[in-house]
Amino acid sequence: MGFSKWVFSFLIFQCIVVNFLQSESTFTSNEVEEIPKYFLNQTQKAEVFYWMVGIRRKLHENPELGFEEFETSRVIREELDKLGVKYKYPLAVTGVLGFIGTGEPPFVALRADMDALPIEEMVEWEHKSKVPGKMHACGHDAHVAMLLGAARILQEHRHKLQGTVVLLFQPGEEGYGGAKRMIEAGALENVEAIFALHVNSGLPVGQVSSRPGPLLAGSGFFEAVINGKGGHAAIPHHSVDPILAASNVIVSLQHIVSREADPLDSQVVTVGKFQGGGAFNVIPDSVTIGGTFRALLKESLSRLKQRIGEVITSQAAVQRCTATVDFFDGENFYPPTINDENLHELFSKVATDMLGSRNVKEAKPLTGSEDFAFYQEVIPGYLFFVGLKNETRGNTGSEHNPKFMVNEDVLPYGASLHASLAVRYLIEMGVKNLEQDRTHHDEL
């Protein structure tokens, strides 16, 4: 880009920022860098903070599993009605799609998952889960509260938005592939980019982390039935032992990663299920094994799936058994979560403006999975972590743990980051579109 074009782009950018800020007396600068701190200040005010806390606690007391989030969805819609935010309902059974802004391009989306886990809460407190065997053990109640907090701030400044913010309240993230169902229902129509956050119990409150490229692994599940011929344990030569065959299968599955995968390409194959036999002196007719496989690259995940099937059937055959393998290819097969490089740059700028560079960390890739990856297969997407750890509160448990507790101090950070990312994205897209229009005019 020549110097004159750079100056033109900068002036356009400044004009858009000034237009955004000038009608709000709280802003004293025409610099876009002030927006994140301003939004954080707004969400930390007692009125907004305790409003988010109240929503989060209401949801925590009434956890609902995937595609059963009818009460959760009702609470969300009630709050959107109070805020005057337009929405569509239902999508993917219980999902809600909100809209703030002009209703015109560009469109940017913010996503929060809504579902709980089948876990019995073991924390005694005033707002403990009222539903036996169900608990918000992954912070999705906080995710919803933070996205509603972002909606409140954005709605207050809706007349300044240079485009449209789409709010995705998504059901069924915990193993149900709810993101895929939301896409099929049209949730990404016109949307050009999408952001999401997840609370992180290992990261201090006030810090965030993420990275460009692979962040979370893709994952799949498998179950195999290995068939032999049952008989008395005292005369094993009259039988075909599926337990022995299954044992050889499990050992061979571990060789896929240790001897076939690049050591720098993180992959996992774990057998967590082994069922067969019911007596000490009887060889059973069949054994069922099952497990999970994970990889940070899509091609590695596909190869793992292929090799797992080949190893199970071939090793069973060595022991004179037969095997059938089911990979549950529908909603249980998650692609890797791969963050867009350009959105990473935008996130880094926004988070640094809000929190300072020392509180913006680079995350290490993890072998956990997220169905947010389905969105990223359609449009550029970015997932980041917000810290909630507070040493003074003692051990509050990790995610998917019955003793997990959300530090509610995290709520303003997530809400203001959501809102700031949406605003910054719309501003930068406005600059890009204006520059493209000018280039096209010059060419004419």
How many angstroms separate the Cα of 281 from the Cα of each of 275, 276, 328, 392?
16, 13, 34, 56
In whole angstroms, what is the distance from residue 224 CA to residue 242 CA?
12
Helix, strand, coil tally for the chain in percent (to 5): 45, 25, 35
Q: What DSSP assignment string belongs to 363-396?
A: PPPBS---TTHHHHTTS-EEEEEEEEE-GGG---
Nearest alpha carbon to residue 178 among 74, 301, 87, 93: 93
- Pairing mode, strands 286-295 and 267-275: antiparallel
Q: How many CB atoms lie within 10 A of CB 264?
A: 5
Q: Is 408 annotated as a binding residue?
A: no
Q: What DSSP assignment string belongs to 185-208?
A: TTTTTTEEEEEEEEEEEEEETT-E
In whole angstroms, what is the distance from residue 93 CA to residue 50 CA?
30
Q: Is 198 annotated as a binding residue?
A: yes
The angle that helices 140-156 and 34-44 make with each other, rounded to 10 degrees, is 110
Is 271 strand, coil or helix? strand
Q: Is 60 annotated as a binding residue?
A: no
Q: What letter represents residue 41's amino acid?
A: N
**Binding site, annotated residues for Mn(2+):** 138, 140, 174, 198, 400
**Binding site, annotated residues:** 138, 140, 174, 198, 400
